[in-house]
Amino acid sequence: MEKIKLRARDLLFPAAVFLFAAVCCFSTTLIGDDYYMYYAFDKAGLYAFAFTNGRYIANNLAFLMIRYPAVKAVLYTLTLSLLIMLLARFVQFREKRPAVSWLAFGLFLTMPAAIVRETETWLFGYAVHVIPVIFTLLYMRLCFRSFRGEQLKQRALIPLCGLLGFAGALFAEHISILHVVFGIFVLLYAACRKDQRLRAFQIAFAAGAAAGLCVMLLRPEYGDVLNETESLTYREISFDITQMYYHLYKMIIPMFAKQFCLLHLCIAGALLMLFVRADRSGWKKGRILYVRLTLGCTVAYAVYSVMMTAGVPLKSLTGSERVSALETAFVFLYMLSVIYLARVLTGRQRLLRVTVYICSTVICALPFIVVGPVTERCFFIGFCFWLLLALELIYAAGGSGTEAYREAAARASAVMACTVLCILSYIHLVNHYVFMFSIDLMREQIASGETNLVIIELPYPEYSMADELALYLPQSGKLDKDLALQLQKGDAMESYGALYFEYWGLTDIYSVKIRSVTSISYYSYTL
């Protein structure tokens, strides 16, 4: 009887993860570029707009999920579940700590809403920015296991890692660059250290990642973007110093780390706990001074991130760019402080992993200094690395607790994660319901000949970009007649609005003489 209870309890965590993935999958709707993907092979000329880069695997997976609901149900649910499970187990090797797994899940659910709306609730963004992180984590975990001295099956890993490297490079450019850099680092680390040896699967991954990046960059569109002759998208590459400073200060730094305030609080708390528990009897005065300074820096940055996320950003209080420069220096000192404290307060293997997480976050952000546009979804993988960093230090800080302490921590973490799961599930499901209600209401208004149209707003627009209907119905009531003509002829259309109306069966809207368009909240409309 006891075994049955333990087995049921062990199934609770994967069941919660699968439930969250299923809710996210069900509540997604087509957004923006998804409409191009849906009609890419149906309308002349749209293929060029839907497949304009070397993200071959991401583009095709996005097309399959967008076009076929059954594929979306299976692929989306399984990949998101796998990603969360990987994050939960990443810092645990042969040990099994339910508290860490539940904490990882709960912290993942606290991802900033701006990133959620551009990745988890947007199918195209999900395929490009979420799925490849699985490739990254799988290989990193293999390498960390190898560095720990675990015996791995080389024959099976060689083709697997070669495939991981090659396929993982065909999703997003910044992740492709990370794979190449990390692959080279692993080769150098294994070759230079006496306690390590170079393994064939490491060579296979590095070669596959390099080959995949070359295949991606062979697309002519990248040359057009570099030469500023590409006209299909808004992508740009600029090496102008002023533009680079603008990207760094105005786009990258605000999204790079500061918005993950809860993770920074966890990092600072774990480091403080490690410091309190450390044996400082043999420390010299210099080390004690450096540790106190770096601890102060980590705590200060955690407090700063909370204040700037919940309060008023300093840049809005002054016109000087010096504040942005100070923010950049602050986050740089913060990262150095965390690495130094990990060196002093933890073991060599954990220091290696902490350094890899921080450096990977930087490598994924650096390309956006010269590449644009820079959006929140570009920092999804950065959030995952900050999450792993927090979990790594929390795991080290709580490793010496008693069994009763671990059991209590597991229960508390489970309650926290399930609470956040219920809240987020409610948000996603309500957004989906209101969106479908708005579409049905628009059909009814068009069918009845209503000229004063009412659009229902999403109750939580910060978590979804599906609130697009108001964008395609100007307040003046004047529709683009060229779009109506293109729609009738079946010609290629560059407008999201025309594709949007066709997909949702709203094409009769072109024959309606609209007098006004009013946006109203769902709760106000139903009162």
Q: How far, in Å, CA of 497 to CA of 470, rounded? A: 10
- 520: tokens are 């109203």
Is the separation of the CB atoms in 432 and 494 below 8 Å? Answer: no
pLDDT given for residue 478 in this prediction: 52
Q: What backbone phi and psi angles, to 5 degrees, belong to 474?
A: -60, 150
Range with the lowest mean pLDDT among 66-70, 318-322, 360-364? 318-322
pLDDT tens, residue by residue, 185-223: 999 999 888 888 889 999 999 999 999 999 998 888 777
Global pTM? 0.91
Give the residue among 236, 182, 95 at the shortest CA–CA distance from 358: 182
Q: Give, for 408, the enclosing helix (H) or strand (E).
A: helix 403-447
Range with the lowest mean pLDDT among 309-313, 325-329, 364-368, 512-516? 309-313
Q: Which pLDDT band holds residue 230 (cuts at 50, 70, 90)?
A: low
What is the residue whose two structure tokens read 């963004």? 125
Q: Compute the mean pLDDT over every residue in the chain, rounded to the nearest whole number.
A: 86
Where do the domains of the chain lie?
246-400, 427-526
Q: How far, in Å, CA of 201 to CA of 244, rounded? A: 37
pLDDT given for residue 492 in this prediction: 37
| Greater model confidence, 181 or 3 | 181
From residue 243, alpha-carbon distances to 49, 224, 237, 353 in Å are: 26, 19, 10, 33
Q: How far, in Å, CA of 191 to CA of 197, rounded? A: 6
Q: Which pLDDT band holds residue 313 (cuts at 50, 70, 90)?
A: low
Rg over alpha carbons for the chain, rounded to the nearest Å, is 25
* 82, 85, 87, 91 alpha-carbon torsion, rounded to 10°: -130
Give the residue among 375, 519, 377 at the shortest CA–CA distance from 459: 519
What is the residue whose two structure tokens read 């590449």? 371
ω before 112 within 30° of 0 (cis)? no
Write the Ramachandran bin of 422: left for phi over 0, alpha for psi from -120 to 50, otherwise beta. alpha
SS3 state of residue 479: coil
pLDDT given for residue 335 in this prediction: 94
Q: Which pLDDT band holds residue 439 (cuts at 50, 70, 90)?
A: very high
Q: How far, in Å, CA of 132 to CA of 167, rounded? A: 9
Q: What angle, 0 to 180 degrees and rounded to 10, lies between the N-to-C axes of helices 2-27 and 98-109?
A: 10
Is the separation of the CB atoms in 462 and 447 below 8 Å? Answer: no
- 369: tokens are 């200094």
pLDDT tens, residue by residue, 64-103: 999 999 999 999 999 999 999 999 999 988 778 888 999 9
pLDDT tens, residue by residue, 140-196: 999 999 998 888 877 888 999 999 999 999 999 999 999 999 999 999 999 888 888
Alpha helices in 227-347 (DSSP H): 241-246, 253-256, 261-277, 285-310, 322-345
From residue 384, alpha-carbon distances to 25, 112, 258 in Å are: 20, 12, 14
Q: Which pLDDT band holds residue 1 (cuts at 50, 70, 90)?
A: very low
* 27, 32, 37, 42 alpha-carbon torsion, rounded to 10°: 110
Q: Give, for 397, the enclosing helix (H) or strand (E).
A: helix 380-397
pLDDT tens, residue by residue, 4-14: 445 667 789 99
Residue type, 220: P
- Cβ contacts of 359 within 8 Å, gap of 6 or more: none
pLDDT at 288 over 50: yes
pLDDT at 348 over 80: yes
Angle at 419 between CA 418 and CA 424, to 5 degrees: 95
Task: Compute CA 342 distance to the chain's CA centroid, rounded to the nearest angstrom.
Answer: 25
From residue 420, alpha-carbon distances to 109, 272, 322, 482, 508 in Å are: 7, 26, 38, 47, 42
Q: How far, in Å, CA of 189 to CA of 356, rounded? A: 12
Summarize the confidence of residues 355-366 as an average pLDDT: 95
SS3 state of residue 404: helix
Is the separation of the CB atoms in 147 and 325 below 8 Å? Answer: no
Range with the lowest mean pLDDT among 142-146, 256-260, 392-396, 468-472? 468-472
Summarize the confidence of residues 119-123 as an average pLDDT: 93
Angle at 226 between CA 223 and CA 229, to 5 degrees: 80
Length of the chain in terms of residues written:
527
Q: What angle, 0 to 180 degrees and rounded to 10, lies between the N-to-C axes of helices 98-109 and 403-447?
A: 30
Q: How far, in Å, CA of 65 to CA of 25, rounded? A: 10
Angle at 409 between CA 406 and CA 411, to 5 degrees: 110
- 472: tokens are 């395609």
pLDDT tens, residue by residue, 447-502: 998 888 888 999 999 999 888 887 777 544 455 555 455 544 544 345 677 888 88
Task: Dump the DSSP string for 162-202.
Answer: HHHHHHHTTS-HHHHHHHHHHHHHHHHHHHH-TT----HHH
